[in-house]
A and B are shown apart, each in its own frame.
Chain A
Amino acid sequence: MKRFLTVFFFGVLLLSVSACGMVTSESRETFAMDTVMNFSAYGKGAEKALSDAVDLVNRLEDNYSVSRDSGEIARLNREGTALLTEETAALIRRCLEISDMTGGAFRPDLYELTSLWGFLGGENDVPADRDIEEMKKKLQSGSVIMEGNLARLDSVKVDLGAAVKGYAGQLIVDLWKEEGISSGVLSLGGNVQTLGLKPDGSLWNVGIVDPENPGVTLCVLHVGETAVVTSGGYQRYFEKDGIRYCHIMDAETASPVSNDLASVTVLVNDGLLADCLSTALFVMGFDRAASFLAQVGNVDAVLVKTDGSIFVTPGLKDCINGAEFEVLPS
């Protein structure tokens, strides 16, 4: 009897251990917004959660892509003035707030600048100096003006490319919470958003890709529920006469960003904010980015300089592995 009980006990133990690794997990790889996306959801309802996420991303792309003629952004750019839906108006207002907060390092109205350098479907080339000067002046005075849900363009056009993937990640996580999903991870072309903790209760491992060698993991962050978004000059660029021009634009110079940063990774809960801030900090360059982070205080970030050195905000010093780094002043 005693032996039977022992065997029974070990049997139950074994079964429960293996059951732990058997939480329903569903993953989906999909292509949207000119990038590859991976969604994973755990637990009951995961299958439906994934289809809903794909639908949501497609809906946002239809409405916010500058090249989808039927969308609100394309219509606004075409007509110059448009009465927007509540959701779109709120999104643009939030982007303008973040633009102010970052001193214009992030801007939602750089469609023409990005086009000028051929990054919105055209041919990549260095524009004539005269065209760059003209664009600079245009961007100094131009802006998007919001009166309630009525948007008016003053010599600029809207491109939410630096915000929409982060916004999508945020919306999916909010939707999954409503559906009762308690654990999941999204990658929207390198924009990562986590929901809860891993099914076994441990932290998520998010790798930062080495800007110098995009096949290598530079370091790994151990995080709870958050957005983790990186901006860098190494993902999309063209080269001319030995100079590399990246796809992220600096409105002040009306040219692609060229400074001492190779990539910036931002960690905040709000996916839209993370997306916009990673772009903004990358545009700022190391010194301005470091003082911005010290000033706002509640944003975590990893700054990788072009010389390969890594700097992290104090909040991250215990959750980063795999590389030497320095801690930024708080």
Chain B
Amino acid sequence: MKTKFWLLILGGLLLASLLFLLFLGTQGEKSEAVISVNGEERYRLDLQEDRELTVESRWGSNIVSVKNGKIAVLEADCPTQICVLRGYQNSGIPIICLPHRLVISFADSELVDAWTK
């Protein structure tokens, strides 16, 4: 009776840790980008699916491309082109097009609480 009880506990713990590892695993693989305009989420994109889309707003238009697990702003009708110069990215520091109030942030952007620049 007693052995059975401990086996049950042990089995439970093993299952829990397996599930936890699985959870960690999927967290690491998650490659997602969120596009927001003026603080409002507009798209949530799986970076494993190649696509091209135009994000329009009253501030301007950006052509965004998802390719080979990364995302980039290909074209922006603004004078600075800072977001275009960032090229393809899949993690870390958000891509920002200030004149169009467009921000592309990544699943792992939250590992750092804030960037100073």
What residues make up the interface of A, taking CB atoms closer than 8 Å to B? Answer: 2-3, 6, 10, 28-31, 34-36, 38, 40, 185-187, 190-192, 194, 198, 204-209, 214-217, 220, 228-230, 232, 235, 263, 265
Contact = CB atoms under 8 A, between A and B. Distances in A.
Contact of B116 (A29, A36, A192): A192
B31 to A, nearest CB: 16
Interface string B73-117: 000000000000011010011011010010100000001111111
Given A36-B101, A205-B111, A28 B39 contact: yes
Contact of B113 (A190, A205, A265): A205
Nearest to B59: A31
A192 B39 contact: no
Contacts, number: 86
B37 to A, nearest CB: 10
19 contacts: A3-B5, A6-B9, A31-B101, A36-B96, A36-B103, A38-B114, A194-B113, A194-B114, A205-B112, A206-B116, A207-B114, A208-B115, A208-B117, A215-B87, A216-B92, A217-B112, A217-B115, A228-B116, A230-B116
Closest 4 CB pairs of A and B: A190-B117, A29-B39, A209-B117, A207-B112
A192 B114 contact: yes
Contacts of B9: 6
Looking at chain A's contact residues, is the secondary structure mostly helix, strand, loop, or mixed? strand
A176 to B, nearest CB: 15
A230 B93 CA distance: 15
A230 B115 CA distance: 10
B39 A214 contact: no
Contacts of A28: 39
B77 to A, nearest CB: 18
Task: Point out which of A209, A232, A235 has the most chain B C-beta atoms below 10 A from its C-beta.
Answer: A209
B68 interface: no
A251 to B, nearest CB: 24
B36 interface: yes
Nearest to A40: B113
Interface of B: 5, 8-9, 12, 36, 38-39, 86-87, 89, 92-93, 95-96, 98, 101, 103, 111-117
B117 A214 contact: yes
Contacts of A194: 113-114
Contacts of B89: 215
Given A34-B98, A36-B96, A215-B89, A207 B38 contact: no
Task: Point out which of B39, B87, B98, B115 has the most chain A C-beta atoms below 10 A from its C-beta.
Answer: B115
Contacts of A229: 116
B115 A209 contact: yes
Nearest to A209: B117
Contact of B103 (A29, A216, A232): A29
B113 A206 contact: yes
A194 B113 CA distance: 10
B38 A31 contact: yes
Contacts of A187: 114-116
A263 B117 CA distance: 8
A228 B112 CA distance: 14
A191 B117 CA distance: 7
A204 B116 contact: no
Task: Point out which of B96, B98, B116 has the most chain A C-beta atoms below 10 A from its C-beta.
Answer: B116
Contact of B36 (A29, A198, A232): A29
B86 A215 contact: yes
A34 B116 CA distance: 16
Task: Point out which of A28, A207, A217, A229 has the most chain B C-beta atoms below 10 A from its C-beta.
Answer: A207
Nearest to A215: B86
Contacts of B101: 31, 36
B116 A185 contact: no
